[in-house]
Amino acid sequence: MTDHHPQPQPNDEQQQSIAPAHQQRLQEILAELATLGFCLPGSVAERQIRCPNPGCHCHHDPPQLHGPYLAWTRKVNQKTVTRNLTPQQATRYRAWFQNNKRLRQLTSELQTLSLNAAGEAEQCGEK
């Protein structure tokens, strides 16, 4: 079941005051958004750690740390949450992390485009 929310469309007067280049880029952004697929927030980093066992080789000089481990870090309810991933999981979800990065880029660009279009539309009737 898909929940679609109708988008309010600009009236003819508003549409005419928006530059064709802005309208074109809006359509390009919307088309790319429709292709993204699943998006996982956060980042994946390779980490090496020191364990709590004081006699372990990771506490010697020089230390030989444990790992590498692939750690997925993200925010949940304003708290940082980290989960280790297997190499197979990291490979499986790599595209989802890339999709999320692209989603953030497109959203930021859409907001900037909207601000520019609104600013130009409001100045259209002013002398």
Q: What's the rounded Cα separation, in Å, for the pair 60 and 50? A: 10
- Write out the two tokens for 14: 């508003």
- Write out the two tokens for 30: 């919307």
C-alpha 11, offset from chain centre: 31
Note the pLDDT of residue 83.
Answer: 96
Q: Are 110 and 26 in contact (CB under 8 A)?
A: yes
Helix ranges, 48-86 (H): none
In the predicted model, is pLDDT for residue 124 greater than 80?
no
DSSP per-residue codes, 81-114 = EEEEE-HHHHHHHHHHHHHHHHHHHHHHHHHHHH
Note the pLDDT of residue 49.
Answer: 92
Phi, psi torsion values for 81, nearest 5 degrees:
-120, 130
The model's pLDDT over 63-121, given as tens digits with 9 standing for 90+, comes to 999 999 999 999 999 999 999 999 999 999 999 999 999 999 999 999 999 999 998 88
Q: What is the mean pLDDT of residues 8-35?
A: 82
What pLDDT band is residue 17 in, cutting at 50, 70 and 90?
confident
The model's pLDDT over 30-43, given as tens digits with 9 standing for 90+, comes to 999 999 999 999 99
| Side-chain-side CA neighbours of residue 14 (13 Å) | 8
What pLDDT band is residue 1 in, cutting at 50, 70 and 90?
low
